[in-house]
Amino acid sequence: MLTAFARAFKTPDLRKKLLFTLGIIVIYRLGTHIPIPGVDYTNVQKCIDQANANQGLFGLVNMFSGGALLQITIFALGIMPYITASIILQLLTVVIPRLEALKKEGQAGTAKITQYTRYLTIALAILQGTGLVATARTGTLFSGCSVASEIVPDQTIFVTITMVVTMTAGTACVMWLGELITDRGIGNGMSILMFISIAATFPAALWGIKKQGDLAGGWIEFGTVILVGLFMVGLVVFVEQAQRRIPVQYAKRMIGRRSYGGTSTYIPLKVNQAGIIPVIFASSLLYIPALVAQFAGGQSSWKTWIEQNLTKGDHPIYIVTYFVLIVFFAFFYVAISFNPEEVADNMKKYGGFIPGIRAGRPTAEYLSYVLNRITWPGSLYLGLIALVPTMALVGFGANQNFPFGGTSILIIVGVGLETVKQIESQLQQRNYEGFLR
C-alpha cells in the first residue's frame, strides 16, 4: 500500500489532485479555529475545559463540525446544514413530482437539484446559526459552566446579526470548499470534509480516556479502547462491503446487421443499503424532545420525564427508542431510495431478466422480497453499532463523544473505502498497480 501511495504521488496529475485536496483540508481546519466576532474566547475555553462541556444535546453536531461548534468559530455549523438539506431534497424528490421529473432529466436536472440544495443549505444555516447564538447568549450551550452566560458579553441586535451572518458565510465557504474538492481533487468533497471533522476529534477523545483511566495510569483503558476500535473497523468494513448480487441476463437482439445484448451482469444489493442516514435521522429525532424540554420554562411532569428518560444515553428507554428508530428509518430510507418496480421496468425495457423469474411484476416482487430480507440484518447491524457509545458510557465512563462511536466509525470507514477505491481506479487507468494486490 505504501508503494501504491508513492506511485500516486509520482503521477503528475494525480499528485496535483492529492495536494489540492490536502490544501483545502488545511484551509478547512484553520477555519475551525477562528472565533466569530462578539464571542469571549477566554470564557469559551474555560467552559470547554470543564467536564460537562462536551456533553449534552450538541454532541452530534459538534462531532460533524470537528469540534468547531462548541468553540463558536466561523465554521461552527460545519457541513451539517448541507447534510440536512441534501437529505430533505432526497426525501422531497419522492413526494414532489417536479423534483422527480428533474431527477430523471439527467445532468441538467441534477444541477438544478444541486442549486436548490445550496439555497436550502443557506436557509438552514441562518436558522441553525440563530439557534446557536441564542443558546450561547443564554448560557444553555455549556450546561454546568460557571461563565456560560458571559460567552457573549455584548448582546445587542447588531452583534447578534453579525454572529449569525458570519456563521452563515462560514457554512457557504465550507460548501464551496467541498465542491472544489469534488471538481478538482480526489473523492466526494463533502464526504472528505466530514471525514476530516470526525477524525480531528479522535486524538483529544482518546487522550481524555487515558487521563480518566485508573488502571496503570489509564494505559489499560486506552489500549482496550484501541482494540475495540480496531475490531469495530474490521466489522464495519466487512458488512459495508457485503452485498447480495442478483444475476441479470440480457436477451440477444438483432438491430439491422448488429447484435446487441446477450450479456450477463448483476444488481448489487448491499446489506447496509441505507448507509449512515438512519442513524442521523434517529439521533436528530431524539434531540427534538430534549431540546424542547431544555428551552421550556418552568418544571412540569412531561419535562421531568423527558429529562430523566430521553436525555441520558445509558437509560433503558433511550436505548430501546434509539434502536427501534434506527431499524424503522433503515426500512423507510431503503423503501424511498430503491424502487423495485422502476428497476424491473427498466430491465424489461432493455430485454433483461432474472433467471427463473418472469419479467415485469414478478421481478419487482422478487426484488422487494430480497431487499426486505437483507435490510433486516443491515438495520440490526446499524442499531448495534450505534449503541457502542452507550456501552462506552457505562463501561468506561466516557463522554458522549466516545471516539469509536457508531456514527463516526460508519462515516470514517465508508468515506475511507470510497476514497481509496477512487485513487486505485486512477492508478489502474495509468497501468499502475492498485492498493490491493
184 and 96 fall within a common domain = yes
**What CATH number does the domain containing 9 carry?**
1.10.3370.10
pLDDT of residue 169: 93
Q: Contact, 184 vs 17, CB < 8 A?
A: yes
- Domain annotation covers residue 427: no
Q: Do 249 and 378 lie in a common domain?
A: yes
Question: If pLDDT is split at 50, 70 and 90, which confidence band does 435 have?
Answer: low
pLDDT number for residue 23 = 93
**Domain-embedded: residue 433:** no
414 belongs to a structural domain: no
Q: Report yes or no on 119 lying in a domain.
A: yes
C-alpha cell at 96: 414532489
Per residue in 260-303, pLDDT tens? 666 778 888 888 888 888 887 887 777 777 767 766 666 677 77
* Residue 52, pLDDT above cutoff 50: no
| Half-sphere exposure (Cβ direction) of 288: Cα atoms closer than 13 Å | 6
Residues 320 and 361 in one domain: yes
Pick from 200, 222, 242: which residue ends a domain? 200
What is the pLDDT, as a whole number, of residue 123? 93
pLDDT of 73 > 50? The answer is yes
Q: Which of 141, 170, 200 is the last residue of a domain?
A: 200
Question: Is there a single domain that holds both residue 39 and residue 133?
Answer: yes
Least confident of 150-159, 279-288, 399-408: 399-408
Could you tell me if 255 and 379 lie in one domain? yes
Task: Count up the domains in the chain and report the number.
Answer: 2
Residue 96 resides in a domain = yes
Q: Percent of the chain, pLDDT > 70?
A: 80
> Across the chain, what does the average pLDDT equal?
79
Q: How far apart are CA 19 and CA 17, in angstroms?
A: 6
> Which whole number is the average pLDDT over 249-262?
68
pLDDT the model gives residue 20: 92
Q: Using one digit for the tens of pLDDT, what is the confidence trace for 113-150? A: 889 999 999 999 998 888 888 888 877 777 667 666 77
Same domain, 353 and 267: yes
| Domain final residue pick, 200, 235, 250 | 200
User: Do residues 193 and 110 both lie within one domain?
Assistant: yes
Do 399 and 258 lie in one domain? The reply is: yes
Does position 41 have pLDDT exceeding 60, yes or no? yes
What is the distance between the alpha carbons of residues 240 and 160, in angstroms, rounded to a whole number? 44
In this predicted structure, what is the pLDDT of residue 138? 76
**Mean pLDDT along residues 414-430:** 80
Report, as an integer, the average pLDDT of 75-85: 85
Q: How large is the average pLDDT for residues 214-236?
A: 78
Q: What's the full length of the chain, in residues?
A: 437
Query: Do 69 and 193 sit in the same domain of this protein?
Result: yes
Residue 279 lies in a domain: yes
**Separation CA 238–CA 421 (nearest Å):** 15
135 and 217 in a single domain? The answer is: no
Same domain, 206 and 131: no
Three-class SS state of 298: coil
Q: Same structural domain for residues 188 and 227?
A: no
| Cβ-based burial of 255 (10 A; exposed 0-12, middle 13-18, buried ≥19) | exposed
Please tell me the least confidently modeled range out of 72-81, 175-184, 325-334, 398-407. Answer: 398-407
pLDDT of residue 27: 92
Q: Is the pLDDT of residue 165 over 90?
A: yes
pLDDT at residue 229 above 90? Answer: no
Question: Which amino acid, 147?
Answer: V
Q: How far apart are the first and last CA of the chain?
A: 9
Residue 110 domain flag: yes
- What stretch of H or E contains 20? helix 12-31
In a domain, 418, yes or no: no
User: Radius of gyration (Cα) for the chain, nearest Å?
Assistant: 24
Question: Above 90 in pLDDT, residue 390?
Answer: no
Containing structural domain, residue 397: 201-404
